[in-house]
Structure 1
Amino acid sequence: MANFEDLIEELGGLGKFQVFLTFCIISCQFFIGWSMLQMSYSGLIPDYRCLIGDDVDNTTQRYLNNNLNVCEVNGTSCTSYHFYGSSKTVISEWDIVCDLKWAKPTITSVQMGGVLLGAILAGQMSDTLGRKNSLYSFVTFHIVLNVVAAFSVSWIMFAVLRFFIGVGIGAVVVIVFNYPIEFLPIKWRPVLSIIPSWTLGVALFSAAALVLDNWSHLHLACAILSTPSLLGFFFVPESIRWLAVQGRLKEANAVVEKIARFNGTEIPVNTAKILQEVVDTERKSRETAQNYIYLDLFRSLNMAKNNVVLWFFWFSLSSSFYGISFGVASLSGNLYLNIFLLAIMELPVQFSTFFLNNKFGRKRSSLAFFTLAALPCLGCLLAQLLASDDVRGPAVNGLSLTAKMMVGAAWSCAQIWTSELYPTVVRNLGFGFGNVGARVGGIVAPFIINLDDMPVVAYAVMTGLLFSCSVLTLVLAETKGSTLSDSLATDTEGGKKQNHHEKGEMDMGNRVGGGGGEGEKTKLEN
């Protein structure tokens, strides 16, 4: 029986419409990576001298101390500071040093709290208001807030605005991945995971920071360069699935006609029947899903174990990833080159995770990448403790870059494994539970992994977290080659036969599995 996936194939599969639509939607995320890591430059602490006295023109009174970066002179606290270098950061803008030193990690944590709220809001709003309206509303919101933030008059105002910018970041990241999936044929959906929009955005950010060298100008540039992505609003249609579920079949048919016209194909004769089946199936699925809450994730001992371990994975990966990213200013060498390398070096290893997951399985791939991430962190710790000054800087730089690269790859493996270990009826809840761990990790990262003030502690924490993750991979079930479990009952009773949608995904070689590993292991047909 023909279903929605067949309808997409008959409309051209990965045709011109799908390619252009994906480009329009993904472009909305291009500057989100830039925005997320804004504090890696804006939080740079330039060298400064302590100034005391009321006469700001009396240099003999003000420059009493020849040592840089101190907070008092002969027991007298600084009344102001003189910052060196051309970099204009929020630190030099509002003297966020000494007594206000705590404000820098606080601003970053506040932003990550906004990301968490945005991710929560996006799921609800995209289901209620539609994918298109939600996406472009949050993109507009993000642009406007960046403009306003550029004119902040205090660090408190800036922190509040960074929170709301974080809301926009979290929302766009959630919607921009799921939206195009509903237009793509099954075998092409995984390509969304390897489109390097985030990475290229961060790389562009490093170049912009080098040229502009001003936190305020970087916010304005982010807003201006993000604006063209709004043009996609006039081309990108609403999701056919969402329109059908809402009972707006006439509009859904209009989108089908638009796709057919753009791809030069005929409108499938069974379109109306397929859309009606989407209405019936999706509504029934939603009614069933509404019976489950997060507490159901802990219904059995096996699922509770999976929840705790996976949450710890996401927490550890996020805190390590953002701890290194936001602490890039503390690394030796050129700041802008370091930001660029932290982004670009992830690409080749992340591309390899698709092959490795299918070849060796989720468990062995995750174990390898967690271990390969922990080892350079251990190397950084030893370099901080034992290496001479001339060796420490280059060694920590290279090892930190390697650690972040491997953390990114481990995260890719964890995402796949997480989605496969939960039954269909609670899969989104389980994935959301893991994301909560990631957001909590991002919030606490500036404090527990502070490369500016306590690098030894930071690298020790990352080493411990990542090695713990390596060990914990052994307690989870392998899901490579297994059927996806559909319900909480079958999660313990055994695997179920693949439905058409799942089988299609496996045909492309990306084998998926499920149900805590107790389901029957089934060879997949090609």
Structure 2
Amino acid sequence: MGDEFEQILDKLGQFRGYQVLVFSLLQLSDVVTAWTMLLPIFISARPQWYCPNTADNSTNNNTVSVSPHIENGTLFDSMTYSDGAKDFINFTILHEMVQYKSQSLDSNMSQYYEAGGYIKGFCTSDGGICEGHTYSTDFTSVISEWNLLCSEKYIGTLITTIQMIGVLGGAIVIGQLGDTFGRKMIYFATIALNSVFGTVMAFASSWQLFAACRFMNGFCMGGLLNINYIWPMEFVGPRWRTFCGCVGLFQVGGMTLALLAYFIRDWRNLCLATSLPPLALMFTWWAIPESPRWLSMKNRFAEAEIILTKMAKWNKRPVPDFSKLRTFAETEKAKLGKMKSYSYWDLFRTPAMCKNMLIVMYAWFVCAAVFYGLNYNVKNLAGDRYLNMFLVSFIDMPAVWSTIFFNAWCGRRKTLFVSMLIAGLANFAVLFVDVAGKMEELSLLTKILALIGKFGISASWSVAYLYSAELFPTVVRNLAMGLASTTGRIGGIIAPQLVYMNNFSKPLPFIIFGCLGITSALANAFLPETRGKPLPDSVPLWKWKKSSAIKSNQDESEMPLSETGSISNGNCLLVEGNREISGSEVCPSLVEEQEPCLVEPSCTGDLDSEWVEQSH
């Protein structure tokens, strides 16, 4: 924001008791976000299903029988079927039945007896389900509820895609509502509506109604992601914003969802368990204040002063001079009134900006597609799905925290390049496991490679938020981040479809994830480094002269800083949805043919530039 508001925050304490309380309470909604976004992993999972050991397609007396017998401690199938049954049976399922026999004796015997003499499920030649099919009692899902198998097995994936489309819509619409009606009202409204639609979903009588509820859940989460990222940032000083942007409870939400799903195996009850408890967050209404920045911009100075006074008391700091609030509001409105109107075309005005924009868009697309793809692909990993989900969520924590260190030590470009390359290579390596014919024997190795890939893509997305905001001039940064975020949402939309390709080839989703990660890493190598460089302010002039305060033989880290840790005497903007927030970096004067100047926030968060929603 403006220098006046930053001075007030500096006197109140940039991240002390009051801000820690507000930040902590707001992060609880990250758990709600994770529950809602990742819930399809369990409620749309396909349980094991079985067909009777005799099949009749109503025109031929075609039979399939399985006689289990033991050889050297291993259970085998002796399959016999009539000639007519060869066309009746889906031979993909037969192949799975052959693989199925090589499992351990105890596992197979229990499955045979649980199936009550049934064999593993298969589809008819016309895409129907065999008569008299039944499901394993291990868990229930929407698949078993509405028999979304065979010719309709795509519907489960389609519902998840519909949810992700809702996320895109919510990010656009609810972000605007947050600017109009305030952060607080929209924040609590989205939580309440998400619980309402989640509850309705638990009692859905058709998959169409269920899909509609999932769209609305995604819509609410798209808005909540936006607001819950920007709102805490408006309470803390610039030194702490990168830190606050990196930490969160989304990973904790993923881990707790795995625990809930483990103990609650019925999909309707699981929907209720993840929809009703978040209503408890409504009681934090009295503890979380409206953003004083937003209030000041709306000329509601009395309310802003009450909040800031309370902040001063909590932080045991003197009450600041509130006359600066009015100065801040008047200055910001005057700037907005004089600001030239820019369009998306300006992002591609020069070759350098065009290159950077295309690379950033692709990076966001890859981050979202691979991140959500690996999450939704948990159901296809060997072993316990609940443990797999816990591990896939847990690995995000060291990944995100490591970027704080590597951003400052290695710079943005190297960190993004290496993390994205790790994600790509780890996923692509699954291909070699498959080529060796060891997908079943080396299932643990496949799981480890998936976890390494998840580590890399989580780190990449964390870097991409900061890096993208630093690459573009102030006046178009809002547009650039909005466009990058949109491509990220599109990546999230196609992620379930990429996972669906597991039905055609088990390693295929990993191969696609790997190709996306590797190509994005190579493209990222062509981005300029931004560590230690001030942000550019205008378009289309993209070449800048180094500040006179920086000698040619000085290290870039020696540039003069203001008390807030930012380059002083300037104005930069930061993005949340379509919202612009002014900042306090300066860019040197325009001249010809020099290196582009981009700002460096420290690893603890000096950057007072655009803040975008955290898209996990």
Q: Note whether the superposition's TM-score is higher than 0.5.
A: yes
Aligned to 2:369, what secondary structure does the other structure show? helix
Correspondence for 1:385: 435
2:525 to 474, 485, 491: 474
Aligned to 1:49, what secondary structure does the other structure show? strand
Distance in 1 (CA, whole Å) between partners of 2:538 and 2:295 is 26
Give the RMSD, CA atoms, in angstroms: 3.1
Change (3 A) 1:275 1:389: closer
Change (3 A) 1:448 1:501: farther
1:506–1:524 contact (8 Å) kept in structure 2:
no
Correspondence for 2:322: 271
2:246–2:462 contact (8 Å) kept in structure 1:
no
Deviation at 1:37, TM superposition (A): 0.5
Aligned to 1:415, what secondary structure does the other structure show? helix
Of 442-451 and 369-378, more deviation after overlay is shown by 442-451
Aligned to 2:148, what secondary structure does the other structure show? coil
Distance in 2 (CA, whole Å) between partners of 1:427 and 1:75 is 50
1:245 to 288, 297, 304: 297
Distance in 2 (CA, whole Å) between partners of 1:344 and 1:75 is 39
For residues 43-442 of structure 1, what are the structure 2 equivalents within 5 Å? Answer: 43-50=44-51, 67-72=119-124, 78-79=130-131, 81-268=133-320, 270-272=321-323, 274-287=324-337, 291-442=341-492
Query: Can you list the C-alpha shifts for 1:229-285, whole angstroms capped at 9, x where unaligned?
Result: 1222112111111111111112222222222233333311x212x101221232134
Of 488-497 and 335-344, more deviation after overlay is shown by 488-497
Correspondence for 1:34: 35
1:182–1:241 contact (8 Å) kept in structure 2:
yes
1:123–1:174 contact (8 Å) kept in structure 2:
yes
Amino acid at match of 2:380: S
Gaps of 5+ in 1: none
Distance in 2 (CA, whole Å) between partners of 1:492 and 1:354 is 29
Correspondence for 1:504: 565
1:330–1:451 contact (8 Å) kept in structure 2:
no
Correspondence for 1:519: 596
Change (3 A) 1:517 1:84: farther
Distance in 1 (CA, whole Å) between partners of 2:360 and 2:274 is 34
Query: Can you list the C-alpha shifts for 1:469-511, whole angstroms capped at 9, x where unaligned?
Result: 121012211111110112224533456799978962589xxxx
Deviation at 1:416, TM superposition (A): 1.4
Query: Can you list the C-alpha shifts for 1:99-153, whole angstroms capped at 9, x where unaligned?
Result: 1111011111100000011111232111111111111111111111111111111
Pair 1:464-2:525 in alignment: no
Pair 1:485-2:536 in alignment: yes
Amino acid at match of 2:451: L
Of 298-307 and 340-349, more deviation after overlay is shown by 298-307
Deviation at 1:377, TM superposition (A): 0.9
1:449–1:455 contact (8 Å) kept in structure 2:
no
Change (3 A) 1:255 1:495: farther
2:201–2:213 contact (8 Å) kept in structure 1:
yes
2:129–2:149 contact (8 Å) kept in structure 1:
no
Deviation at 1:224, TM superposition (A): 2.2
Correspondence for 2:25: 24
- What is the number of equivalent residue pairs in this alignment? 516
Correspondence for 2:115: none
Change (3 A) 1:82 1:352: same
Deviation at 1:381, TM superposition (A): 1.4
Aligned to 1:491, what secondary structure does the other structure show? coil
Distance in 2 (CA, whole Å) between partners of 1:278 and 1:346 is 39
Aligned to 2:235, what secondary structure does the other structure show? coil
1:135–1:176 contact (8 Å) kept in structure 2:
yes
Distance in 2 (CA, whole Å) between partners of 1:289 and 1:199 is 40
Deviation at 1:194, TM superposition (A): 3.1
TM-score, scaled to structure 1: 0.90
Aligned to 1:184, what secondary structure does the other structure show? coil
Change (3 A) 1:517 1:391: farther
Distance in 2 (CA, whole Å) between partners of 1:375 and 1:347 is 21
1:80–1:95 contact (8 Å) kept in structure 2:
no
Change (3 A) 1:319 1:74: closer
Deviation at 1:222, TM superposition (A): 1.2
Distance in 1 (CA, whole Å) between partners of 2:507 and 2:458 is 22
Amino acid at match of 2:509: A
Change (3 A) 1:423 1:95: same
Deviation at 1:161, TM superposition (A): 0.7
Aligned to 2:134, what secondary structure does the other structure show? strand
Change (3 A) 1:30 1:74: closer
Correspondence for 2:95: none
Correspondence for 1:447: 497
Distance in 2 (CA, whole Å) between partners of 1:169 and 1:2 is 33
Deviation at 1:448, TM superposition (A): 2.7
Deviation at 1:80, TM superposition (A): 5.9
Deviation at 1:333, TM superposition (A): 0.4
Which structure would you say has the larger Rg? 2
Query: Can you list the C-alpha shifts for 1:171-190, whole angstroms capped at 9, x where unaligned?
Result: 11111011011111222222
Distance in 2 (CA, whole Å) between partners of 1:160 and 1:73 is 31
Of 142-151 and 446-455, more deviation after overlay is shown by 446-455
Change (3 A) 1:522 1:149: closer
Higher helix proportion, which one? Answer: 1
Amino acid at match of 1:221: A
Change (3 A) 1:70 1:514: farther
Amino acid at match of 2:450: S
Change (3 A) 1:136 1:494: farther
Distance in 1 (CA, whole Å) between partners of 2:560 and 2:330 is 17
Distance in 2 (CA, whole Å) between partners of 1:33 and 1:524 is 29
Deviation at 1:15, TM superposition (A): 2.5
Amino acid at match of 1:14: F
1:383–1:396 contact (8 Å) kept in structure 2:
yes
Distance in 1 (CA, whole Å) between partners of 2:138 and 2:128 is 28
